[in-house]
């Protein structure tokens, strides 16, 4: 009986110790959280503000780029491209400067002492924000090449459309000539004209399809092809 009571007392003592440890751990954690919050109020504001400024520059560049897509006149588009490239340059410089400042900020982590883990987490979060902003700028880097490809695609479509129209007119003309003659009296010249008209139309369509099957083919061009087929 005494042995059982001793065992029960030991178990109860162990439980009390465990609860006391959990309470103490919680107290220490909350105290550290307060210390971390206090440390972050001095450690983060400047670098957070710098990151926000860089992100704002990226957003400005994206807005400028989106306006470029609505430019129909070539002169307006060229002006939009210049503005986009200038905005891209400004945004990239802001990102590069911010990355350098973030790297320098990492060098001050030891000064946080016990709050260093919290500081590392916050800096990693800011680095991820910069990486996301950097990815957003990728389409802007090829804006001029993409626009030029689209412009050439549209121009080729217009040229081929005109060639096809001329070829169809020529084929219609030849068809009228053929209908007006007996089959036996069809001359070699008529046959040659038919063959030339067919070849003109086929060549025009082949030229267009070869262009649009290349890797430089843009979506705007595909719509024209669908309209012609």
Q: Which of 127, 133, 131, 125 is nearest to 60 (CA)?
A: 133
* CB 110, CB 31: distance < 8 Å: no
Q: In the predicted model, what is the mean pLDDT of the chain?
A: 79
User: Comparing 7-16, 96-105, 126-135, 200-209, which segment has the lowest mean pLDDT?
Assistant: 200-209
**Residues 144-193: pLDDT tens digits?**
999 898 888 888 888 878 877 877 787 787 777 667 765 555 567 666 76
Which residues does 41 contact at the CB level (< 8 Å), separation at least 6? none
| Alpha-carbon Rg for the chain in angstroms | 37
Structure pTM?
A: 0.61
Q: What is the pLDDT of residues 35-87, one digit of tens each?
A: 667 767 788 888 999 999 999 999 999 999 998 878 878 899 999 999 999 99
Task: Name the more confident of 209 and 128.
Answer: 128
Say if CB 164 and CB 198 are below 8 A apart: no
């Amino acid at each position: 009986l005494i042995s059982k009571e001793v065992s029960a007392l030991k178990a109860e003592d162990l439980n009390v110790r465990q609860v006391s440890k959990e309470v103490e751990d919680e107290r220490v954690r909350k105290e550290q959280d307060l210390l971390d919050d206090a440390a972050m109020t001095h450690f983060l504001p400047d670098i957070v503000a710098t990151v926000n400024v860089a992100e704002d520059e990226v957003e400005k560049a994206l807005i400028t780029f989106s306006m470029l897509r609505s430019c129909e006149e070539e002169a307006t588009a060229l002006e939009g491209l210049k503005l986009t490239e200038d905005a891209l340059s400004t945004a990239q410089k802001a990102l590069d400067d911010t990355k350098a400042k973030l790297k320098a900020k990492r060098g001050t982590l030891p000064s946080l002492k016990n709050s260093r883990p919290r500081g590392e987490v916050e800096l990693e979060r800011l680095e991820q924000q910069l990486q996301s902003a950097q990815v957003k700028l990728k389409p802007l880097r090829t804006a001029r090449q993409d626009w030029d490809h689209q412009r050439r695609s549209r121009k080729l479509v217009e040229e081929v459309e005109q060639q096809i129209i001329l070829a169809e007119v020529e084929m219609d003309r030849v068809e009228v000539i053929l209908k007006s003659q007996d089959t036996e009296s069809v001359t070699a010249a008529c046959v040659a004209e038919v063959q030339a008209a067919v070849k003109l139309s086929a060549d025009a369509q082949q030229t267009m399809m070869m262009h649009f099957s290349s890797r430089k083919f843009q979506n705007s061009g595909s719509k024209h092809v669908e309209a012609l087929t």
